[in-house]
Structure 1
């Protein structure tokens, strides 16, 4: 049962970044009159997907936080995830849906201002995600020790790249695959028991 449960959790945490990576393969490289309709439509579809990226950080922390340093880091992770979900959705709406719509209707002059605002929102969201990533890894470090390091290292690189890569091919797609790999590594660690499993009592001769 445990391997099946772990597999289900892995699917939950890796599905959002892999979906975003797939979307990055078909995302237009540039916003033009020819691509504006597809640009806006794709971001409408992705609007509920981007916030789900935080599942890779929240699922390994599942449960009520303890009232100590670990609990404080857990709350910090929740706050960072909320920041990402709010502000990166703003980027999706402003630089994705709105910019694509105005260009599709021939209002090219407004797109630059929308991109500038969207870039600020996106950076704020990614910084929130980076804070949440640090906090999640801190909690998992306290629980599982050095086993967290591979996932934490991949996660750090993915957060750094995400600041200006979005999901554009090729770096944005690689960034999303990096998130999927990091979330998988952290999930596998969190699903393992902390110590040796309890051994059955030995039978002794009376």
Structure 2
């Protein structure tokens, strides 16, 4: 039963990054008149997918006790996840859907400004995701100790790479695969009983 629960949770947290990795293989390398329609269409399809990347941080935290420093860190994680979902969706809409649409209609001069705005939104979103990742790993460290280190290490590299890789092949695809591996490792680590040495002391007296 426990192994089945871990398998289900792992499937949930890796679905979005694996789907984005596959989409990255189909993502045009450059926005041109020939690729504009595909460029805009792909980002329309992916618009609801990018926000689900945060499940890799929220699922391992599910059911964590919200008290003391852990509660504050959990709030920080949720805040960073919300910031990522909002701002990275902005990148998808501006540099993906809007830029692809204007180029597809022959308005090439606007694409550069749209890319510049989209890049700023995207970086802000990734910084939010990185902050959420740090807060999540801190909570899991307090609960599970060194078991979280492999996932945390892979996650930090993926966040660093995500700043300028999007899902473009090859860097962006490997970045998404990195997220999938990191989320799976953190989910498995969080499935172990909490390290009792790190648990808050319980009250023994009424």
Q: TM-score range by the shorter chain?
A: over 0.9
Q: Deviations over 1:114-162 (max 9, x none)?
A: 0000000000000000000000000000000011110000000000000
Moved over 6 A (4+): none
User: Is 1:124 aligned with 2:124?
Assistant: yes
Structure 1 unmatched runs, 5+:
197-206
With the length of structure 2 as denominator, give the TM-score of the two structures.
0.93
Structure 2 unmatched runs, 5+:
197-206
Deviation at 1:195, TM superposition (A): 5.2
Q: CA RMSD in A?
A: 1.0
Q: Distance in 1 between matches of 2:25 and 2:18?
A: 11
The residue number in structure 2 matching 1:204 is: none
Alignment of 1:48-127 (within 5 A): 48-63=48-63, 65-127=65-127
Q: Deviations over 1:37-93 (max 9, x none)?
A: 000000000000000000000000112642200110000000000000000000000
Instruction: Say how many residue pairs are matched.
Output: 196
User: Is 1:139 aligned with 2:139?
Assistant: yes
With the length of structure 1 as denominator, give the TM-score of the two structures.
0.93
Deviation at 1:183, TM superposition (A): 0.1
Q: Distance in 2 between matches of 1:65 and 1:38?
A: 45
Structure 1 pair 129–195 and aligned structure 2 pair: CA distance change class (3 A)? closer
Q: Distance in 2 between matches of 1:67 and 1:140?
A: 14
Larger Rg: 1
Contact kept? 1:65, 1:74, Cα under 8 Å: no
Contact kept? 2:161, 2:175, Cα under 8 Å: yes
> Counterpart of 1:28 in 2: which secondary structure?
coil
